[in-house]
Amino acid sequence: MSLKNRFPPWLRLLRPHQWLKNGFVLVGPLFAHAWGDPALIAKALAATLAFCLLSSSVYVFNDIIDREQDRLHPQKRHRPLASGVIGLPFALLLLAACLAISLYIVFGIIGRAQWVFLAYLCVNVAYTLRLKHIVILDVFMISAGFMLRLLAGTLALGIPPSRWLLLCGLMLTLFLGFAKRRAELNAMRTDAGAARAHRRVLEQYSPPLLDQLITVAVACTVLSYSLYTVSPETVALHGNHLWVTIPFVLYGMFRHLYLLHRRGNGGDAAEALLTDPHMLAAVTGWLLLTLGLLAHWF
């Protein structure tokens, strides 16, 4: 049984395993050496919680809009709304509750850069209603959601966003987005009609095209992160040993490609992280080593 299917239906509707993506909010405080400021860390955790609830409200909205199409998908047909386990009135109530609590946190507790959180909502509503049907742009909209998480972890906390941070984040999230599309093609290649009915944009993609886009995104991610670790700005701020984290980044990305092409489960990065020990080891190793280097533990 899939990890996410072990949750009760109402919790599955919120997709809590996807909350891992909101860890992008904490990247800014990590590289700003802000772990010694309790007030800032409290706001960073509040921003992360706000994004967890905002993203869950977006997932519920998406499932409401796509429930008919999801019934044609080999995996998504088991989602609570598509399968009929949860009704539309309860889903709307859950959406309203998540949205209300998250906006209270944004305006009542964080109190700055609220436009970042509102932009996330607008981008995702536009994506669900229209932009997910436009080839290439659909993946850029997925990436935009991650970039806004990075901005929430910087601008909303009074931390100037690093150009390197934004560049690496852009390349990594484009890679994850195109890998998601590739996994969708893999999952539905046995039923082209169902693929078109579920996600029309898949008609505009092909395996060779997505493989080329993924290759470019992987190369740009590794190159931008590698250049970041050895740039004079990074060395002055963090020391000259951050480059030793590069192998963890390489291994994690190569493992994701392996899961995509050989195991057929590279479309959900959050679930892959939680269920694949190699991915978990790569991300955990990178995080611990990076934290140790930034804190000068060794």
Residue 108 is classified by DSSP as I
Mean pLDDT, the chain, rounded, equals: 88
Report the pLDDT value the prediction gives residue 5, as an integer from 0 to 100.
Answer: 61
* Top-confidence residue, 69 or 194: 69
CA–CA gap between residue 149 and residue 142 (Å, rounded):
11
Helix (H, G, I), strand (E, B) or coil at 35: coil
Residue pointed to by tokens 């909209």: 141
User: Mind listing the domains of the chain with CATH numbers?
Assistant: 1-160 (1.10.357.140), 162-174+206-298 (no CATH)
Q: Alpha-carbon distance 96 to 56, whole Å? A: 11
Q: Would the pLDDT of 166 be above 80?
A: yes
List the one residue out of 129, 266, 168 whose CA is nearest residue 210: 266
Q: Is the pLDDT of residue 194 over 60?
A: no
Q: Could you tell me the pLDDT band of residue 273, with boundaries at 50, 70 and 90?
A: confident
- The pLDDT assigned to 1 comes to 46
Residues 36-83 have pLDDT tens digits of 889 999 999 999 999 999 999 999 998 898 888 777 776 777 788 888
Residues whose CB is less than 8 angstroms from the CB of residue 80 and which lie 6 or more positions away in sequence, other chains included: 9, 10, 12, 13, 63, 86, 91
Query: Of 148, 157, 166, whose CA–CA distance to 41 is shortest?
Result: 157
pLDDT in tens, 84-123: 788 889 999 999 999 999 999 999 999 889 999 999 999 9
Whether pTM > 0.85 for this model: the answer is: yes
